Each structure stands twice: as C-alpha cells, then as structure tokens.
C-alpha cells in the first residue's frame, strides 16, 4: 500500500498530519480522563467491579452465541443455492446498520412483556419471559451481531477453492476435517474478537435492556456517574478502565489474526459443499429459516407498529429530524475526508490511525472531551458538534477499510500508466483516483451517515433539553411509556437512515463508470 501511494507525492503530507491529529485528539481525551482519575481519592467500589464483571460476561456470552449460531447458518448458506439467496443475505445484514435503539424496540415488540412471544406463551398457559437483565442484553447483542458473524464466516466458506473440494472427494477424506475445520480455525478467532469488542463498548443495549444495577456495564456506569451523580472523578476512573480493556483486547485481536491458507484456485470459489454425504436439506432450511425469522421479524414489527404510531408523533419531530440529519452529514463528510487522506498516505501509520478508534470507546472518549470542556464552556452547548466528531471517529475504521482497499487496487492497476503520462500529485488525484473512487466513497459515506444518525450514547451524555435528535427523542418517549409515539419516531428514524444511505450510495454509483 505504501509503495503504491508514493507517486501521489505531496498528497501524503495531509495524511500524516491527520494521523497525528487523530492520535493527538484521542491522546488528549485519554490524558484528561487519566488526570481526573488520578485526582480522585479512593478506588473502584464493589458496584464498579460488578459493572466490570458484567461487561466482560455479557460481551463473552454475546460473542460466543453470535458466532456460534452464525456457523450453521453460514454453512447452510454456503451449501445451498435457491431463488432470492442474494437478497436474503443482504437483508440478513440489515440489523448491523440499523439504529440500535430501533432494533431494541423491535426486540421488545417480539420478546417484551406484551410482545408476540409472550402472547403465544399465554395462549398455552406458560409463564411469561423477561427480556431485561443479562438475557436481554445478550439477546440484543446477538440480534445486532449475528449478521456480522454470518458474513465473516460465509466469506471463509466461499474462499475455499473448488479444486480443494474436488481433491477432498477424490481422496475420500472428510471435508469437515480437511477443509471446513481448518477454515473455521482461521476465521473464528477474528470473528469472535470483532464481536467481543463491539459488545464491550455497547451502550444503548445495556441502557434499554439492562434492567437494573445487576445488569450495568462500564459504559452505563460512566453515563450514570456523569449525568446523575455528576461525579466526574468516578466517571474518569471508569472511562480509564474501559479504555484499558479496549486497548488490551484490540491488541490481542490484532496478534491473534491468521491467514486462511487455503491457497488459490481458478476463481471457482464458493462451490456448494452439499455434495458430501447427502447432508439434510431440512436441517439447512431450518437454520436459514430460524435465522431469517429471528432477524427479520423485529424489523417487520417496527414497521407495523411505526405505521400505527405516525399519528402520535411529538411536535418537535421536525427539528429532531433536522438535527439528526445535520449531525449525520457532518460525521459522514468528516469520516470520509479523514479516511481518504489516510488511504492516500498509506503505510503503517495510516493503518494504525485508521484502526485506532476500534480500541477506544466513544463514550469513554466523550467523557474525556466532557472533562476538557468542563470549566471552559457548558458542555451541553457543544453536544451536536461533539456528537458529529465522535461519530466520525467511530465510523472511521469501517470507512477507511473500504476506501484504502480501493485506492490500493487503483494504484496497482494504473500506477505505471499514470507515471508514463506524467500524472502526479493533485492532478493524479483529480483525474485518476477520485473518478474511480466514487462508488466506494459513496458507499462509505452512506454507511457512516447511517451509523451516525442512530447514535444515542454521545448525544445522551452531552445533550440538554433543547437538543433532541431522533434517537434521543425515541429513548425519552420509551422512558415515558409512550410506546406508540416511540414506534412512530422509530419508523421515521429508519426512513431517515435508509434515505441517507441511499443518497450517498446512489450519488457514488451515478455516472461512475469511468
């Protein structure tokens, strides 16, 4: 990557400056947290240690269940070909980009006290189940991360060359032992650590489904220390612990990655593995059907209840939409600009800067920003700009990955031709790189905007009463038990999220055939 980007010349300088700026911003936040934590007498209380234990337990259970359940679903999808398979795989990924607060509302509609499942249990005179507490937090995380596990593991199965499959048949060996198990040993650690890190820094799920002190995560404890107790020293201690956890597990995940090692073939990957031993069509169909029902039914309930709640929308819905869209647009533009500059810079420094936010927590970093602003201005006055900036950093690793791979491919394909034509520096960027980056730039911006528009954590930490975004309005309506109005706002939030994603993605695809 670094060698491919070198001919861009002076365009490398902004990338280096931005990499240092990202590291400096995160470092300043960590320093503010550490300084405040060092000045607080005493240490963590029993409740704080309980929050730490719950954070690790729920993240471990969520990762194990998300990835464990993804294995048979991904295997079934790899072995079967049917009409609508591609559309189903795309639809199964919807919860991953769905605003978390909307996903929670959909789960409550299905598994809540008055949800579909409990209504069915009541018909057969069975006791109701509760969605709150550890079970609810894990359920929410599995719903949100099962699609990610399916996609990661499915890519592993599709990467097995068809030649290896045929060779295993000729050798009369077990495909599971020779092909599938070695693939899983390479893919599973990365998938487990990815989901674990996501659940480690999850806030909204624990906030809405935690159900009390026994189901409090570190992120939720940080929020409570700032907003309810206004104990900034305690919040700093907890934020420092959260940052340390993220750094440790991110380092373990980085060192634990392994290449698949399946070799290359003739580009006939993804051959159906269903030829071996007549595996049960019923079993594969059952796994695919259960996964589809689990992931799609809550979305259907959100739409159904949302349509009924549109008549009960709050009076401030228009301004909430405007604030959410402005924050999302600012976050998307900033995230894409940072990712593009880093991708053009290339090299280990750019890779580190682009991946660094994965090792941090948005709420913990937001606590550092809150501490830096406190005493200078009222932090609530900066709620929307801070939310946009932190959302841009949260989306940066995902945006950077897509853009950097596209820049690398362009440089590999056109580097010699561009050099022979004398295209260097900004002329090379304008005439060669940017026209061929429209598709990945549009998709990356749409992803960043969709992720930002549904954020609840940062805005909830900073916001005052007059800065409601759609997720914050929805959360307050749920807290006031105005579930019909909350469902209507949820539907509006989904529509805004999809519109933003479509707007950027369509803009990137329009006339992008150069």
C-alpha dihedral, 332 to 337 to 343 to 348, nearest 10°: -90
**What pLDDT score does 278 carry?**
55
Above 60 in pLDDT, residue 229?
yes
Residue 13 has pLDDT above 70, yes or no: no
The lowest-confidence range among 134-143, 271-280, 447-456 is: 271-280
Quick count: other Cβ atoms within 10 Å of Cβ 281? 12
Q: Mean pLDDT throughout 148-175?
A: 67
- The token pair that represents 470 in the structure block: 């759609």
The answer, yes or no, to whether residue 304 has pLDDT greater than 50, is yes
Indicate if the pLDDT at residue 220 is higher than 70.
yes
The percent of residues in the chain predicted with pLDDT above 90, rounded, is 22
d(CA 457, CA 219): 9
H or E segment at 89? Answer: helix 85-92
Supply the range of the domain harboring residue 212.
2-37+48-259+310-509
Distance CA 43, CA 405 (A): 45
Which CATH number is 455's domain given? 1.10.3720.10
Domain count, the chain: 1
Task: Classify residue 400: in a domain, yes or no.
Answer: yes
CB 110 within 8 A of CB 117: yes
Entry field: residues in the chain: 514
Output the pLDDT for position 333.
Answer: 93
Q: Average the pLDDT over 426-446 and give the result.
A: 81
Bigger pLDDT: 333 or 271?
333
- Asked if residue 187 belongs to a domain, the reply is yes
pLDDT single digits (tens) 108-145: 999 988 889 989 988 888 888 888 899 999 999 999 99
Cα–Cα distance list, 440 to 69, 437, 512 (Å): 31, 6, 10
- What is d(CA 503, CA 442) in angstroms, rounded to the nearest whole number? 8
- 465: CB partners within 8 A, 6+ apart: none
Average pLDDT over residues 423-452: 82
Residue 234: band (very low, low, confident or very high) from pLDDT cuts 50, 70, 90: confident
Determine contact, residues 204/456, Cβ cutoff 8 Å: yes
Q: Is the pLDDT of residue 418 over 80?
A: no
The mean of the pLDDT values for the chain is 81
Residue 487 pLDDT > 70:
yes
Mean pLDDT of 228-245: 85
Reported as type and span, the H/E element at residue 257 is none
Tokens 């006290």 belong to residue: 113
């Amino acid at each position: 990557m670094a060698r491919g980007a070198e001919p861009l010349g002076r365009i490398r300088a902004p990338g280096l400056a931005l990499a240092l700026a990202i590291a400096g911003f995160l470092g300043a936040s960590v320093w503010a947290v550490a300084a405040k934590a060092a000045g607080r007498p005493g240490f963590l209380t029993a409740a704080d240690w309980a929050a730490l234990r719950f954070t690790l337990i729920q993240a471990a259970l969520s990762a194990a269940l998300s990835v464990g359940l993804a294995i048979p679903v991904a295997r079934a999808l790899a072995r079967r070909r049917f009409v609508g398979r591609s559309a189903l795989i795309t639809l199964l990924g919807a919860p991953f980009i769905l605003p978390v607060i909307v996903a929670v509302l959909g789960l409550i509609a299905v598994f809540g006290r008055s949800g579909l499942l409990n209504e069915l249990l009541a018909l057969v005179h069975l006791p109701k189940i509760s969605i709150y507490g550890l079970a609810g937090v894990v359920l929410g995380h599995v719903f949100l991360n099962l699609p990610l596990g399916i996609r990661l593991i499915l890519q592993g199965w599709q990467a097995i060359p068809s030649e290896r499959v045929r060779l295993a048949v000729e050798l009369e060996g077990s495909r599971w032992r020779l092909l599938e198990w070695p693939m899983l040993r390479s893919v599973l650690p990365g998938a487990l650590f990815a989901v674990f890190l996501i659940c480690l820094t999850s806030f909204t799920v624990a906030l809405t489904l935690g159900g009390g002190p026994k189901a409090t995560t570190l992120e939720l404890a940080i929020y409570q220390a700032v907003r309810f107790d206004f104990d900034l020293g305690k919040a700093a201690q907890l934020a420092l612990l959260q940052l340390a956890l993220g750094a440790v597990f991110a380092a373990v995940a980085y060192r634990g990655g392994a290449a698949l090692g399946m070799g290359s073939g003739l580009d006939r990957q993804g051959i159906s593995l269903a030829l071996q031993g007549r595996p049960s069509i019923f079993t594969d169909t059952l796994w695919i059907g259960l996964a589809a029902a689990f992931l799609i039914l809550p979305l259907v309930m959100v739409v159904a209840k949302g349509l009924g709640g549109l008549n009960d929308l709050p009076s401030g819905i228009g301004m909430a939409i405007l604030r959410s869209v402005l924050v999302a647009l600012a976050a998307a533009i900033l995230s894409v600009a940072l990712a593009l500059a880093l991708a053009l810079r290339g090299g280990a420094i750019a890779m580190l800067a682009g991946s660094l936010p994965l090792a941090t927590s948005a709420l913990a970093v937001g606590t550092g920003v809150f501490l830096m602003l406190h005493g200078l201005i009222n932090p609530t006055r900066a709620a929307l700009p801070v939310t946009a900036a932190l959302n841009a950093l949260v989306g940066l690793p995902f945006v950077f990955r897509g853009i950097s791979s596209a820049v690398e491919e362009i440089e590999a394909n056109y580097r010699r031709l561009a050099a022979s034509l004398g295209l260097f520096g900004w002329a090379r960027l304008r005439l060669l790189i940017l026209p061929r980056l429209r598709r990945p730039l549009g998709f990356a911006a749409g992803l960043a905007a969709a992720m930002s528009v549904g954020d609840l954590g940062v805005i909830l930490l900073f916001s005052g009463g007059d800065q409601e975004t759609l997720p914050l309005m929805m959360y307050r309506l749920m807290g006031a038990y105005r579930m019909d109005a909350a469902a209507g706002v949820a539907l509006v939030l989904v529509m805004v999220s999809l519109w933003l994603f479509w707007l950027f993605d369509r803009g990137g695809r329009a006339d992008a055939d150069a």
